[in-house]
Amino acid sequence: MKRFILIVVCSLLLVPCSFAKKEKKPQEVDSLGNPIKTGWNFGILPSVAYDADYGFQGGILTNVYYYGDGKQYPEYIHSIYFEGAYTTKHHGIFRLNYDSKYLIPRHRLTLDATYLPDAMCDFYGFNGFRSVFNNEWSFWKKDPAKMPQYEDYQSRVFYKYKRDLIRFAADIEGTIYKDFKWNAGLGVLGYIIDDCDIDMLNGKNEFDPALSRYEQKALNPNIQGLYDLYKDWGLISPDEQNGGWHPYARAGVTFDTRDKRQGPNRGIYLDAFFTYSAAFNAKYGQQAAAGYNHLQFNFTFRHYVPCYIDAKGRNRITFAYRIGTQNLIAGKSPFYMDNYLNTLFIQRVYYEGLGGGNSIRGMMANRLSAKGFAFANVEFRFRVVNFDIGHQHFYIGLNPFFDLGVVTQPYTMDEDDLRTKVAATTNIDGKPYEYNQFFSSDEKDIYRPHMTAGVGLKVGMNENFVLSADWAMPVNEKYYMQQDNSKLANFYVKMGYLF
């Protein structure tokens, strides 16, 4: 993720509260040796962040849990999650989520309503490494004597476009037999897409008449970004340029033997499901082409293996890995939905694939865009220390990890036609672009894996509320490290474990 982030987050910012009745002695303990929680509990997380493009962020996160008499702890009876955050440059997160296995007896129900306005959504082209990333085109160098040129800096939003995402989802799970379960869900994804609002992003940075050029921090509206170029070259059709509304239905099965959903210590989770998406209101009220109805298939396998259990019977080291794939089975999907990673239950804010803190950590968000892809995440989870503050149970953990992503179904692109169209396109200086500035001529680059590695810090409260901070970087050879963000900030702060 192309960001430079300052965030003030520590255990002191977690404001633990409990409305449970006074615990009686002797206390019952869970499998980790911690006293069982009862009643209502919640954690509040205020945060302060800064992003070079989005600006300062302010907001609040809170997760309210109800454990009842604690018989099912660390499982909760009800979970209500709210997040609201906004930045000075119009990037927002507004989300309300409800999760319970007890509201409907013997069924798990999850409801989610989310609005994600994004003034600068990442767009790096199609088919992973087949699309060339030029870091110098979008990275402003702090050198007042250096003027932006075609060979160097062009615009901070060269690899961006404006995208607002509205999401409503209702998912339910029931039992087939023991650990085998059925799943079904209904929802709608609404995408509103346009060019970046240059005037808003520029703010006070304007055209300098004395120098006959734009100030270096300003964005020149006359420069075409990659999104505009893809439209001109016919890689993004007019029917999908401005987004659309897509109601969907999904159904599948799961096999789940995990000891708990948040940060499990042992067990297997497997899911396989189909998602059918329709399309309407594609372009600000105009009806979408029926061709954007499509069917996708997802498969995920997760395994959690306990490696070390201490003298008190508490698991201290867990080996965890996840492998998965998403592929287009039938129909035609718009490019912006190919970056959405389908899931049976909405458990976090972003489901972008592949790249970024929620899929391939250390790689730029949406770097690998294809009709089908596969991924893997491998990590060791060390629980370094357990401690209590008041009646709340905390732990601190470290997670070294390795992530991988690869294209399985690429976009079809006519190289000869693209060479002609690229050569006919000029930059702001009137010079023609070259094909190899945008596309690799080696078709093997399509299927070359993107690999990253890093380490994470976890601060958990009551086994369910987990604050996560991950740092990662690409581990491919030098050329591909540059293509996947090795020179940029690869730091992520989010809630919960990746899987």
pLDDT in tens, 126-164: 999 999 998 888 876 655 455 544 457 788 889 999 999
- Check: CB of residue 101 under 8 Å from CB of residue 75: yes
- Check: CB of residue 67 under 8 Å from CB of residue 73: yes
Q: Is the pLDDT of residue 209 over 60?
A: no
Q: Is the pLDDT of residue 288 over 90?
A: no
- Check: CB of residue 42 under 8 Å from CB of residue 17: yes
Of 123, 334, 162, 160, which is closest to residue 238 (Cα–Cα)? 334
Of 397, 401, 403, which is closest to residue 467 (Cα–Cα)? 397
Torsion 207-208-214-215 (CA) sign: negative
What is the pLDDT at residue 481?
80
- Check: CB of residue 130 under 8 Å from CB of residue 440: yes
| Cis before 74 (ω within 30) | yes
Mean pLDDT of 28-52: 68
Of the listed ranges 211-225, 302-316, 466-480, the least confidently predicted one is 211-225
Cβ-proximal residues to 218 (8 Å cutoff; 6+ apart), any chain:
202, 205, 206, 207
Q: What is the pTM of this model?
A: 0.84
* More reliable by pLDDT, 316 or 287: 316
Q: Residue 490: count other Cβ atoms within 10 Å of its Cβ.
A: 24
Model confidence at 171, in pLDDT bands (50, 70, 90)?
Answer: very high
Of 300, 189, 187, which is closest to residue 252 (Cα–Cα)? 300
Residue 392 amino acid letter: Q
Mean pLDDT of 480-498: 78
